[in-house]
A and B are shown apart, each in its own frame.
Chain A
Amino acid sequence: MSQQSDTLSTARPYLLSAPALLLYVGVFMIPLIMTFMLSFYTFDITRGGILSGFSLENYTEVLSDSYFHKIFLRTFVLSILVTVFCVLLGTPEAYILHNMSSRWKSICMLAILGPLLVSVVVRTLGWAILIGSDGLINNTLMALGLIDEPIKLMFTMTGLVIALVHVLIPFMVLSVWAALQKLDPMVESAGQSLGASSFTVLRKIVLPQIMPGVLSGSLIVFALTASAFATPSILGGRRLKVVATTAYDEYLGTLNWPLGAAIAVLLLLANILIITSYNKFIERKYAQAFK
């Protein structure tokens, strides 16, 4: 009797987590493993498309072709730029929000989080309307006589960065905000009473203590930018390809699924590598703030 209940109580956590685990394995692990296997297959249009087997052909193609190098580099630069701007804009934004009176706080919170409720495609199309050569911004500036010809923003890195920062900044604000919530509101007063100016308090006391929030925010933003698809494909198009849009084109354009899979796997590996080393670096630098 007691033995039976013992077995049951050890099994219970597994039983309870089984549905979630099955879902995770079914919708995440299996596709991931299949993509991984697919990346070792070969593609030959003359012999009927995808041929199963094991070959490193796709990887050598991606790693040796300067065309792909450029795309990976562009994606990396884009991710860095978007992350940097999100940190520079999102951190002060979260701090200002944190210090607002509660009524304004909820209004501004809604303004920041509201866009998350709108599909990223719709938001990006909005940006396309705004920044296009015949778009609102260019037309206004031309009408005001500030510029003679439209500023080129569509299909440029600048336009892409602007739109991605807008799309991803809520994640930055939210994670810095969470770190600020944990901060003892009295530490700022303490700093001031010891003779520090508001700016010094911010730089030497507040910022080091919210670094975990800045870190997790920037990791989310970096990872989401590196794998962003909708925004780069609408605003960057074929002229400004990133890794995600390239993989998509391989799958659905040339129908070379194995090559697309290899690109996706390489993106995943690069992401993991960059994120874990960045995480380690920051954690060491701000060791005390993480305890």
Chain B
Amino acid sequence: MSFLHLEGLTKHFGDFVAVEEVNLTVEKGEFISLLGPSGCGKTTTLQMIAGFVNPTKGKIFIDNQDITELKPSKRNLGIVFQSYALFHHMTIHDNVAFGLEMRNINKAECQERVIETLSLVHLEDFAHRFPRELSGGQQQRVALARALVINPEVLLLDEPLSALDAKIREDMQIELRSIQRRLGTTTILVTHDQSEAMAMSDRIAVMNNGRLAQVDRPHRAYEHPGDNFVSNFLGKSNTFKGQVKDVSDGTARINASGVDFLARNDLFEPGTTVNVSVRPEKIQFCEPGKGQIDGSISTRIFLGNQWVFQVDSDIGEFVVVGQNTGREVVEEGHKVGLNWSEREVRVLPMENQA
């Protein structure tokens, strides 16, 4: 049986549907991310779990107990807020000790646990400072320590790293993940940053328009997106509209504006209109005429570890990403052939509303 269970969780604000029929099960000790663009309902879902927002419909279970009606103060959840929400009039020590004081834990044990948790986040020397005297990254750690010290059933992280600059964010991702592994705390991270979600989670739950679009392990969700939204939200994709011509031996031939794509897929009947997509990093350059399609390089951007090319072709623009191997790369304006393996072509159903 799962540890945290959301059952048909729904929230309407008047006519606005914020969250619709979200069903999700999280195992004990699992790290799961709610990922989606702003306004997709991920934060509302988190707030319902935390108890700050009452669901319109649906139930929340932790360890088989229905907590839907429980007050936030009775849920025993650790929450790290986007703004950290530290108590600025208290020292770091008192901030972390607050949750323990509320639980009437005796002074000696309280002291011990505060110091233990602060050293977990490498802030034991800062116990007597005030939040304002700390850097953003350090404040973030205090917020984490404050949430962890109470041994929460579930740790909820609401965009905890979004206020940090890129370098510290990466370090914190790694650190957060290793602390979570060590403590084994079931964790839900809300984020709009797909690379953050993929880097940290056991599974990611991609949300769109208040619904769960796909729940999967990061690699699987990236390689086998369930729909167009996931395909384009997780990384970049070159997507083209096409029609299935024939299917044989598990390989479909899809015609997109006169160009044939081969794909390892037999889920669609011939004649169906579908989207075909290829990830930018799965495309290689070759001599013109020798690949699947020809094009000319319209722009190239150097990002240090990789190159990003925009290639104009007869059926539209392709984005191609290549590792920087130190060698010279094709110049802008050159004609190139684009080549990819049929294993890398994904076929997705057309969106009804699109």
The residues of A with any CB-CB pair to B shorter than 8 Å are 184, 186-187, 189-197, 200, 204-205, 208-209, 286, 288-289, 291
**In contact, A192 and B132 (Cβ under 8 angstroms):** no
8 nearest CB pairs, A to B: A194-B99, A195-B102, A186-B85, A190-B85, A192-B72, A208-B89, A288-B89, A193-B79
**Do A189 and B52 contact each other (CB < 8 Å), given the known contacts A209-B89, A289-B89, A291-B132?**
yes
Which residues from A are CB-within-8-Å of B73?
A: 192-197
Q: Tell me if B98 is interfacial: C-beta within 8 Å of chain A.
A: yes
Chain A residue contacts of B240, Cβ below 8 A: none
- A195 and B72 alpha carbons, distance in the complex (Å): 8
B residues less than 8 Å from A186 (CB atoms): 81-83, 85
Q: Which residues of B contact A189 (CB under 8 A)?
A: 50, 52, 72, 79, 81, 85
Chain B residue contacts of A184, Cβ below 8 A: 83, 85
Question: By DSSP majority rule, is chain B's interface helix, strand, loop, or mixed?
Answer: loop
| Contacts beyond the supplied A184-B85, A192-B71, A193-B147: 16 A-B pairs with Cβ under 8 Å | A186-B83, A187-B85, A187-B86, A189-B79, A191-B98, A193-B73, A193-B75, A193-B77, A193-B79, A194-B146, A195-B73, A195-B74, A204-B98, A205-B87, A288-B88, A288-B130
Residues of A within 8 A of B82 (CB): 186
Task: Kindly state the separation between the CA atoms of A194 and B74 in the bound complex, as whole angstroms.
Answer: 9
A contact residues around B81 at 8 Å (CB): 186, 189-190
Bound-complex Cα distance A189 to B47 (A): 10
Mind listing 10 A-B residue pairs with CB under 8 Å? A184-B85, A186-B81, A189-B50, A192-B72, A193-B51, A194-B99, A196-B102, A204-B98, A209-B89, A288-B132
Is B90 an interface residue when CB atoms closer than 8 A count as contact?
Answer: yes
Query: Which of chain B's residues have a CB closer than 8 A to the CB of A209?
Result: 87-89
Q: Please give me the residue from chain A that is nearest to B80 by CB atom.
A: A190
**Cβ contacts under 8 Å, B76 to chain A:** 195
Interface residues of B (CB under 8 A from A): 50-52, 71-79, 81-83, 85-90, 98-99, 102-103, 130, 132, 146-147, 150
A205 to chain B minimum Cβ distance, whole angstroms, is 6
Complex alpha-carbon distance, A200 and B130, angstroms: 21
B85→A195 contact, CB < 8 A: no
Chain B residues near A286: list those with CB within 8 A.
Answer: 89
**When chains A and B are docked, how far (Å) is the Cα of A251 from the Cα of B149?**
68
**What residues of chain B lie closer than 8 Å to A289, measured between beta carbons?**
88-89
In the complex, what distance in Å separates the CA atom of A156 from the CA atom of B73? Answer: 48
CA distance A150 to B51 in the complex (A): 53
> How many Å from the CB of A42 to the closest CB on chain B?
54
A193 to B75, CA, bound (A): 7
Contacts of B85 in A (CB 8 A): 184, 186-187, 189-190
| Complex interface: chain A residues within 8 A of B89 (CB) | 208-209, 286, 288-289
Q: Are A194 and B102 in contact (CB under 8 A)?
A: yes
Give the residues in chain A near B147, CB-CB below 8 Å: 193
Alpha-carbon distance A270/B62, docked complex (angstroms) = 62
Q: Distance in Å from the Cβ of B301 to the closest Cβ of chain A? A: 38
